[in-house]
Chain A
Amino acid sequence: MASLPPIDLPSAATGAGAFDTPAPSEGSALFEYLLRLGDDSLILGQRLSEWCGHAPSVEVDLSLANIALDLVGQATHFLNLAGEAEGKGRDDDALAFRRDVLDFRNCWLVEQPNGDFAQTMARQLLFSTWQKLLFRSLVGSSEPTIAAVAEKAVKEVTYHQELASEWVIRLGDGTEESRRRMQEGLDWMWRFVPELFEMDDLAAFMAEKGIGVDLPAIRDEYDRQIRDVIAEATLDLPPDQRPILGGRRGHHSEHLGHLLAAMQFLPRTYPDAVW
């Protein structure tokens, strides 16, 4: 699918935190890998929670809030594991609320603004389909703690994918207006898909260890599932766009900083507050 060369910012663009050691130690690699897993879930969970009280109907409001809850639950587990791998005493809260934007390792897709409801559903379809296949593979991870979270979460993510698929089909095969918006949402989010399958040194290292997933191996199945939904929705497969990479190394769109400002404001203003 990706015939155009990717856009990837030079790693010198960020000062600290970028993963650039040629031979990663297993501990630091595991920490980075868990951040990728945890940050994807955390950031999308935060994004979806922005819909709370604003969704098109109360049922959709509940659905998005519940998906957000599942994702934040995943993030809690992955970030706690990341803190343990790092061994510096940071827990899930410390990693979620006291890291700056350059230290986040999520993909670009999840930090994209919600846009309209169609755009949110396009993002959800593209992400949940990927996450389901990813977790399905991670169930066989040689790291039992990761396998346990994946085994637990894959059942929930299957539900997320079904919900998103149903809405993409309903809107795509709907009115002229809903179809136009659904197509636009899909076209916009499409450019962030190649990053989901990017195998950089860290991803390759983790896959080699049997801890992580060989992402190209799940690509065909991903394409097949996405194509099926797009076809049933009577939508057009978006044209190839120049893929954008870099989230895994801390390069993000400006949107992430704004999201973090909202998410981190309270715990940073009142550190260790209890009530």
Chain B
Amino acid sequence: MLTDPGLWEVLASVPDPEIPVISVVDLGIVRSVAPDKVTITPTYTGCPASHVIERDIRDALDAAGYRHVAIETVLSPAWTTDWITPEGRAKLAAYGIAPPTKGAVHCPQCGSVQTEEISRFGSTPCKSLWRCRDCAEPFDLFKCH
């Protein structure tokens, strides 16, 4: 696959509209970059941010002189939280959102594992609501998906 480092740089500057501390590249939704086409995939089927993300990427590409580069949205293979980059995970934790994990959920405030789920669905489809039993702070967990 031919990659243009300049294109990747532009994409890495586009924030996720719902969690602006991470970029669309951190989120793992940019699947491939070719000289004339960027391929992206939605996180959730009904994610209302999908249209906004596509528009934001379009605006960023246009502004950086990549007007000729098309954006294609594909559904398959389906996005998984495994595609969130290590940098993305670190940024989520620093922002106060526990990154997806198959093990114990650490409180992003105090690091405790004495945590419990309050609600399976949080403020957006990709997050669930948790609370820390040690520091009593509620927090979002980016759900494994």
Chain B residue nearest in CB terms to A74: B45
A-B pairs with beta carbons under 8 A, tally: 67
A156 touches B (CB below 8 Å): yes
B65 touches A (CB below 8 Å): no
CB distance from B140 to the nearest CB of A (A): 12
CB distance from A82 to the nearest CB of B (A): 16
- Listed by A's residue number, 16 A-B pairs whose Cβ atoms lie within 8 Å are A63-B120, A63-B121, A65-B121, A69-B44, A69-B46, A69-B48, A69-B125, A148-B74, A148-B78, A152-B42, A152-B75, A152-B79, A153-B45, A156-B44, A156-B125, A162-B120
Q: Would you list which residues of chain A between 122 and 165 have a CB under 8 Å from chain B?
A: 144, 147-149, 151-153, 155-156, 159, 162-163
**Contact call B121/A151, Cβ cutoff below 8 A:** no
CB distance from A199 to the nearest CB of B (A): 27
Chain B residue nearest in CB terms to A69: B46
**Contact call A152/B46, Cβ cutoff below 8 A:** no
CA A152 – CA B46 in complex, angstroms?
A: 10
Q: Would you list which residues of chain B between 44 and 91 have a CB under 8 Å from chain A?
A: 44-48, 74-79
Determine the chain A residues whose CB is within 8 A of the CB of B48 once the complex forms. Answer: 69
**Contact call B118/A59, Cβ cutoff below 8 A:** yes
Majority DSSP secondary structure for residues of A touching B: helix
CA A255 – CA B44 in complex, angstroms?
A: 30
With contacts A147-B76, A148-B75, A151-B78 taken as known, whether A156 is within 8 angstroms of B45 at the C-beta atoms is: yes
- Of the four ranges (under 10, 10 to 19, 20 to 34, 35 or more), the interface on chain B belongs to 20 to 34
User: How many of A's residues come within 8 Å of B, CB to CB?
Assistant: 27
B123 touches A (CB below 8 Å): yes
Task: Provide the B121-132 mask, 1 if CB < 8 A to any CB of A, else 0.
Answer: 111010001000
8 tightest CB-CB pairs across the interface, nearest first? A73-B46, A59-B119, A73-B45, A148-B76, A69-B46, A148-B75, A63-B121, A66-B121
CB distance from A202 to the nearest CB of B (A): 24
**Contact call A152/B76, Cβ cutoff below 8 A:** yes
**Contact call B78/A62, Cβ cutoff below 8 A:** no
